[in-house]
């Protein structure tokens, strides 16, 4: 048997949205760059079994893993920062834990017993954490959603408290992320809320090993000392995490400067090894000083008010721009605005147009308008999932003359269902976790733009959809100038369409944004950014 895995638990205090995900992901990168194999996991305290049934307004983007789990967007940070591949094991919700326990109870798994939060729910949580060791990781980082003191997160914290006792303090470390509010009127940085949140943790039996303080301004020595004293955390384990100016990818560099990774390794009794951040530093330097020009991309969607709804899309665009030394300007355009006003007003000055994935009818015609604009004005276009379906509907309506062409999702009675329900979806009744999900292979035409971007014909990409291009319309669409350049290996599903008449017009049924990394930008995003910038040069 190998050495047992070490566990790090990342909790949050004072407020939500402190950036626990980015902090956990940054720590994972640092530990990985010191030679350790890291696995990341998030425990979410809500009752949905997964976030797949929530509106993006509630929860932000639903991140999809290779193995087809619909998960929290923090997993995107994990994969982007630490270059790890997350799995179903990487995200558990209260709903998922409870439904496992309740199903077991119904099957008689606890016959004769009373099923309780402690120990049955807490045992199930511990199991979810401990089975991460199956990944073969040296270090497992578990982030706990919510804020210390929330009613909902208490079973998770209780389970982790028990785990630390069982595993021993050298195998289980608690990192608590907290907030130091800055009062600009008096010019003061306050430590009281952070003291209170560490106090809440203490009251449930957890003394954090490390306190990470989110702050707008630099901390003074007195803040470090005060927090150390009141929170029972050694001075050296009070870490400042100040807002970064330019790029979230600066966070690991700032944390490394304070020796956070060495501190954790010492707590684990693990050799410190050398930290190699050379590639990461070079990428951040390029991100901070783009010296090759500017590129402006319009993203036309329906949840534009909440940037988290398109997190991976924005990140993937930025990866392409960073790679090419370009400054990226994103114009967030509400699709509905294109329905009532001249698209020129919104799209006239952009270098590229992206229509992302989505569900529901609202804004659909605006997205189709955006595709029409891109096609007619020859503006580089990238369509993703619903964005590809919009490109198909646009060609059917405006080029092939099928005025009423539509998707069955929006118009069950349409005479021309150019987008129809996949066969495997026809018998599906439940909404949760039943779409076509996760990684599927796709074969590209050799002389396509997509193949030129990837440099190979066989690719694998992640999916999350129920509808597909209706094969009965393949010929009509091809005659109207839409080339079907990517198919499932058996040829039955259209995964990529292009317009060869345009400079760069590619739309995909899958979600390439989930696989883009700052150190390995996604080929399609890279090619789209490049075509957009080149068009602008003309
Ligand atoms: N609503 C469409 C479908 O289910 C597209 C989904 C998406 O864009 N993720 O097929």
- The reply to whether 463 belongs to the active site is no
| Ligand 1 proximity of 466 Cβ (cutoff 6 Å) | yes
Distance CA 428, CA 45 (A): 28
Residues 453 and 514 in one domain: yes
| Ligand 1 proximity of 385 Cβ (cutoff 6 Å) | yes
Q: What is the pLDDT of residue 359?
A: 93
What is the domain extent for residue 320? 291-537
Closest atom of ligand 1 to 435 CA is 4
Nearest CA to ligand 1 atom 3: 465
| Ligand 1 proximity of 357 Cβ (cutoff 6 Å) | yes
352 CA to centre of ligand 1 in angstroms: 22
Beta bridge mates, 294: 327
Does 424 fall in a domain?
A: yes
| Ligand 1 proximity of 467 Cβ (cutoff 6 Å) | yes
Nearest CA to ligand 1 atom 6: 465
Helix 20-32 and helix 260-267: axis angle, to 10°? 70
> Which secondary-structure segment (H or E) carries 96?
helix 94-106
215 CA to centre of ligand 1 in angstroms: 39
Nearest CA to ligand 1 atom 5: 386
Residues 380 and 238 in one domain: no
Residues 252 and 329 in one domain: no
Mutate to test the pocket of ligand 1, among 465, 468, 511 (most ligand atoms within 8 A of CB): 465
| Ligand 1 proximity of 494 Cβ (cutoff 6 Å) | no
From 282, 301, 331, the end of a domain falls on: 282
82 CA to centre of ligand 1 in angstroms: 28
356 CA to centre of ligand 1 in angstroms: 10
Using DSSP's 3-state secondary structure scheme, residue 438 falls into strand
Distance CA 425, CA 439 (A): 17
The contacts of residue 530 (CB under 8 Å, 6+ apart) are 320, 324
Does 2 fall in a domain?
A: no
Query: Beta strands 352-355 and 405-407: pairing type?
Result: unpaired
Catalytic residue among 86, 132, 385, 390: 385
Does 183 fall in a domain?
A: yes
378 CA to centre of ligand 1 in angstroms: 25
Beta bridge mates, 333: 300
| Ligand 1 proximity of 358 Cβ (cutoff 6 Å) | yes
Closest atom of ligand 1 to 385 CA is 8
Residues 244 and 384 in one domain: no
**Helices (DSSP H) in 349-409: which residue ranges?**
364-377, 386-398
| Ligand 1 proximity of 359 Cβ (cutoff 6 Å) | yes
Nearest CA to ligand 1 atom 8: 357
Does 159 fall in a domain?
A: yes
Residues 233 and 320 in one domain: no
Does 1 fall in a domain?
A: no
> Which secondary-structure segment (H or E) carries 182?
strand 182-183
Residues 79 and 131 in one domain: yes
| Ligand 1 proximity of 436 Cβ (cutoff 6 Å) | no
357 CA to centre of ligand 1 in angstroms: 6
Residue 408 belongs to domain with CATH number: 3.40.50.880
Q: What is the pLDDT of residue 16?
A: 86
Minimal CA–CA distance to 405: which of 370, 364, 374? 364
Query: How many other C-beta atoms lie within 10 A of the C-beta of residue 134?
Result: 11
Give how many domains the chain has, as a whole number.
2
Residues 226 and 262 in one domain: yes
Closest atom of ligand 1 to 360 CA is 1
Catalytic residue among 59, 465, 511, 522: 511
Q: What is the pLDDT of residue 401?
A: 97
Catalytic residue among 120, 461, 513, 522: 513
The contacts of residue 373 (CB under 8 Å, 6+ apart) are 343, 344, 347, 353, 379
From 282, 299, 321, the end of a domain falls on: 282
| Ligand 1 proximity of 267 Cβ (cutoff 6 Å) | no
Does 421 fall in a domain?
A: yes
Torsion sign, CA atoms 318, 321, 322, 323: positive
Residues 168 and 307 in one domain: no
Q: What is the pLDDT of residue 397?
A: 98
| Ligand 1 proximity of 464 Cβ (cutoff 6 Å) | yes
| Ligand 1 proximity of 303 Cβ (cutoff 6 Å) | no
Residues 79 and 215 in one domain: yes
Does 67 fall in a domain?
A: yes
Query: Beta strands 63-64 and 70-71: pairing type?
Result: antiparallel
Residues 265 and 345 in one domain: no
Report the chain's C-alpha Rg in angstroms.
Answer: 25
Query: Beta strands 436-444 and 483-487: pairing type?
Result: antiparallel
Residues 136 and 171 in one domain: yes
- The reply to whether 513 belongs to the active site is yes
Mutate to test the pocket of ligand 1, among 63, 359, 407, 495 (most ligand atoms within 8 A of CB): 359
- The reply to whether 522 belongs to the active site is no
| Ligand 1 proximity of 392 Cβ (cutoff 6 Å) | no
From 282, 305, 337, the end of a domain falls on: 282
Does 352 fall in a domain?
A: yes
Query: Beta strands 352-355 and 326-334: pairing type?
Result: unpaired
Each residue's pLDDT tens digit in the chain (538 positions)?
Answer: 467 899 999 999 988 889 999 999 999 999 999 999 999 999 999 999 999 999 888 889 999 999 999 999 999 999 999 999 999 999 999 999 999 999 999 999 999 999 999 999 999 999 999 999 899 999 999 999 999 999 999 999 999 999 999 999 999 999 999 999 999 999 999 999 999 999 999 999 999 999 999 999 999 999 999 999 999 999 999 999 999 988 999 999 999 999 999 999 999 999 999 999 999 999 999 999 999 999 999 999 999 888 899 999 999 999 999 999 999 999 999 999 999 999 999 999 999 999 999 999 999 999 999 999 999 999 999 999 999 999 999 999 999 999 999 999 999 999 999 999 988 888 888 888 889 999 999 999 999 999 999 999 999 999 999 999 999 999 999 999 999 999 999 999 999 999 999 999 999 999 999 999 999 999 999 999 999 999 876 6
- What is the b/e burial string over 451-477, where b = at least 16 CB atoms within 10 angstroms of the residue's CB? bebbeeeebebbbbbbbbbbeebeebb
Residue 228 belongs to domain with CATH number: 3.40.50.300
399 CA to centre of ligand 1 in angstroms: 23
Distance CA 142, CA 161 (A): 13
Q: What is the pLDDT of residue 2?
A: 63
Query: Beta strands 210-215 and 238-242: pairing type?
Result: parallel
384 CA to centre of ligand 1 in angstroms: 9
pLDDT in tens, 399-432: 999 999 999 999 999 999 999 998 888 888 888 8
Beta bridge mates, 417: 406
409 CA to centre of ligand 1 in angstroms: 9
Q: What is the pLDDT of residue 538?
A: 65
Q: What is the pLDDT of residue 6?
A: 97
485 CA to centre of ligand 1 in angstroms: 20
| Interior angle at CA 89, CA 124 and CA 45, nearest 5 | 60
Residues 306 and 352 in one domain: yes
| Ligand 1 proximity of 61 Cβ (cutoff 6 Å) | no
């Amino acid at each position: 048997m190998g050495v047992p895995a070490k566990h790090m638990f990342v909790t949050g205090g004072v407020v939500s949205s402190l950036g626990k995900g980015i902090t956990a992901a940054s720590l994972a990168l640092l530990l990985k760059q010191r030679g350790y194999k890291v696995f990341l996991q998030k425990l979410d305290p809500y009752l949905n079994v997964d976030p797949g049934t929530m509106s993006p307004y509630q929860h932000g983007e639903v991140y999809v893993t290779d193995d087809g789990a619909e998960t929290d967007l923090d997993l995107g940070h994990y994969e982007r920062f630490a270059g790890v591949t997350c799995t179903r094991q990487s995200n558990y919700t209260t709903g998922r834990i409870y439904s496992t326990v309740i199903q077991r109870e119904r099957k008689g798994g606890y016959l004769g017993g009373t099923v309780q939060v402690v120990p049955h729910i807490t045992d199930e949580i511990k199991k979810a954490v401990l089975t991460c060791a199956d990944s073969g990781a040296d270090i497992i980082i578990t982030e706990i959603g919510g804020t210390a003191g929330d009613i909902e997160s208490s079973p998770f914290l209780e389970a982790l408290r028990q785990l630390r006792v069982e595993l021993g303090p050298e195998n289980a470390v608690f990192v608590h992320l907290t907030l130091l509010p800055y009062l600009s009127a008096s010019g003061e940085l306050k430590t009281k809320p952070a003291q209170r949140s560490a106090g809440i943790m203490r009251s449930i039996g957890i003394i954090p090993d490390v306190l990470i303080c989110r702050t707008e301004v630099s901390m003074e020595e007195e803040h470090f000392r005060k927090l150390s004293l009141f929170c029972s955390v050694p001075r050296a384990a009070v870490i400042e995490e100040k807002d970064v100016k330019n790029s979230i990818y600066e966070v690991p560099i700032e944390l490394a400067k304070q020796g956070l990774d060495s501190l954790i390794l010492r707590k684990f009794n693990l050799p410190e090894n050398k930290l190699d951040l050379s590639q990461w530093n070079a990428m951040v330097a390029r991100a901070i000083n783009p010296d090759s020009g500017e590129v402006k991309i319009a993203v036309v969607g329906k949840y534009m008010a909440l940037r988290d709804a398109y997190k991976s899309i924005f990140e993937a665009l930025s990866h392409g721009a960073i790679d090419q030394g370009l400054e990226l300007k994103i114009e967030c355009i509400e699709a509905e605005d294109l329905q009532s006003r001249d698209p020129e007003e919104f799209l006239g000055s952009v270098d590229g147009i992206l229509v992302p994935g989505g569900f529901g009818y609202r804004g659909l015609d605006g997205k189709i308008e955006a595709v029409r604009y891109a096609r007619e004005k020859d503006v580089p276009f990238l369509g993703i999932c619903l964005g590809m379906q919009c490109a198909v509907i646009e060609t059917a309506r405006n080029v092939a003359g099928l005025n009423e062409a539509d998707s069955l999702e929006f118009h069950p009675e349409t005479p021309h269902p150019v987008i129809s329900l996949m066969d495997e979806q026809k018998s599906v009744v439940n909404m949760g976790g039943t779409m076509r999900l996760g990684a599927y292979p796709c074969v590209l035409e050799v002389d396509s733009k997509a193949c030129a971007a990837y440099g190979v014909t066989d690719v694998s990409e992640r999916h999350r959809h129920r509808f597909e291009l209706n094969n009965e319309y393949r010929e009509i669409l091809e005659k109207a100038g839409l080339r079907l350049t990517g198919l499932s290996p058996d040829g039955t599903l259209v995964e990529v369409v292009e317009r060869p008449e345009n400079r760069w017009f590619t739309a995909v049924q899958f979600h390439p944004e989930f696989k883009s990394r700052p150190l390995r930008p996604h080929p399609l995003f890279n090619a789209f950014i490049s075509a957009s910038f080149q068009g602008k040069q003309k």
